[in-house]
């Protein structure tokens, strides 16, 4: 039997809902009937079961598989970025770009303060790293780089979300995912590192980060830099010099709070300038 390639779990499944912006129709604002029409990241089996004339909307936060692409022709397909639309066009699939809308966060300042206190980082600049948002091949080198960087700047602290047991180092706190979700610790993040596969859209995550004032450091793969404009609304890292650039920019952010504040404000301004992004959607 031919082994099927392993595909990453979509962000919509691997992160808490509150961390990601959402497709407008999935918000429930248009009613349950409209909400039920949307299929998010459907499998090939689900697509094959749809009648030829169907009013279902198919939405993706990861690229459709090669087997799924022919089944999408002639259907209503939403994607979260122009990079995804271009990929689908190369396979004769017409799509609509529907930017995810950020979720409203009630009492964000209070939640951030409480999360930082829980993480013993009330006065520190907190970098958030989630293992599902970085390649496993980079894990060891990133841990080494972050340890070195934190030693150079005591103001920096790193939370590393893992599937393993909790472990505390001097500058890096490895925290199990269930504890993060139970205590909503992601609200404490000031910075976020996302370096991942090109078939995973980071737009839903990045849009939510811009909305809540979290500065993103990412790479230029796929659609990862579609909202993160280099040194305007965040930082785009070169994969060939990833660790060197990461160390450099983290130290700049720690040493220059005014520049960091400018990145946050630029990101929020960028959201407001895009039509339909001015208002956040209330979480259900």
Element (H, E) at 40: strand 38-40
Lookup: tokens for 46:
């689900």
| Domains of the chain, each with CATH number or no CATH | 17-97 (no CATH), 108-273 (3.40.50.2000)
Nearest of 117, 116, 118 to residue 126 by alpha carbon? 116
Cα(255)–Cα(248) distance, rounded to whole angstroms?
Answer: 11
- Count of CA atoms in the C-beta half-sphere (13 A) of 93: 28
Span 182-203, mean pLDDT? Answer: 92
More confident residue, 30 or 77: 77
Q: What is the mean pLDDT of residues 248-261?
A: 97
Residues 236 and 137: their CA atoms lie apart, in Å, by: 19
Strand (E) positions, 62-221? 76-79, 96-97, 125-130, 156-162, 167-168, 172-176, 191-194, 215-219
- Computed over every residue of the chain, the mean pLDDT equals 87
d(CA 237, CA 224): 11
Phi, psi for 34 (deg, rounded to 5):
-65, -40
Identify the pLDDT of residue 164. Answer: 80
Q: What average pLDDT does the segment 229-235 reach?
A: 96
CB atoms within 10 A of CB 8: 15
More confident residue, 32 or 41: 41
Does the predicted TM-score (pTM) go above 0.85? yes
Residue 31 pLDDT: 47
Helix (H, G, I), strand (E, B) or coil at 62: strand
Model confidence at 40: pLDDT above 60: yes
Indicate if the pLDDT at residue 10 is higher than 90: no
Half-sphere exposure in the Cβ direction for 35 (13 Å, CA): 9
pLDDT band at residue 60, thresholds of 50, 70 and 90? Answer: very high
Write out the two tokens for 102: 């950020």
Q: What is the pLDDT of residues 111-148, one digit of tens each?
A: 999 999 999 888 899 999 999 899 888 999 999 999 99
**Least-confidence region, from 21-30, 44-53, 220-229:** 21-30
* pLDDT at residue 282 is higher than 50: no
**Residue 281: which pLDDT band, with cuts at 50, 70 and 90?**
very low
For residue 278, pLDDT beyond 50: no
């Amino acid at each position: 039997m031919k082994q099927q390639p392993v595909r990453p779990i979509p962000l919509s499944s691997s992160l808490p809902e509150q961390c990601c912006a959402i497709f407008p129709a999935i918000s429930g604002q248009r009613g349950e009937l409209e909400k039920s029409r949307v299929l998010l990241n459907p499998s090939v089996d689900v697509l094959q079961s749809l009648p030829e004339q169907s009013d279902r909307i198919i939405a993706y936060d990861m690229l459709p598989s090669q087997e799924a692409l022919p089944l999408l022709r002639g259907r209503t397909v939403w994607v979260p970025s122009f990079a995804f639309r271009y990929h689908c066009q190369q396979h004769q699939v017409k799509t609509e770009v529907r930017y995810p809308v950020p979720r409203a966060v009630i009492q964000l300042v209070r939640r951030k303060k409480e999360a930082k206190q829980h993480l013993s980082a009330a006065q520190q600049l907190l970098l958030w790293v989630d293992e599902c948002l970085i390649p496993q091949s980079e894990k060891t080198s990133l841990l080494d780089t972050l340890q070195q960087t934190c030693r150079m700047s005591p103001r920096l602290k790193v939370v590393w979300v893992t599937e393993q047991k909790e472990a505390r180092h001097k500058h890096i706190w490895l925290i199990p995912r269930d504890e993060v979700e139970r205590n909503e610790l992601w609200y404490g993040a000031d910075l976020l590192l996302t370096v991942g596969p090109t078939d995973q859209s980071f737009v839903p995550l990045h849009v939510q980060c811009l909305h809540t004032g979290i500065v993103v450091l990412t790479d230029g793969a796929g659609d990862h830099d579609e909202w993160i404009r280099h040194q305007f609304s965040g930082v785009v890292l070169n994969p060939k010099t990833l660790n060197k650039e990461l160390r450099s920019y983290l130290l700049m952010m720690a040493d220059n709070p005014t520049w960091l504040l400018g990145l946050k404000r630029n990101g929020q301004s960028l959201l407001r300038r895009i039509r339909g992004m001015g208002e956040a959607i209330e979480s259900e």
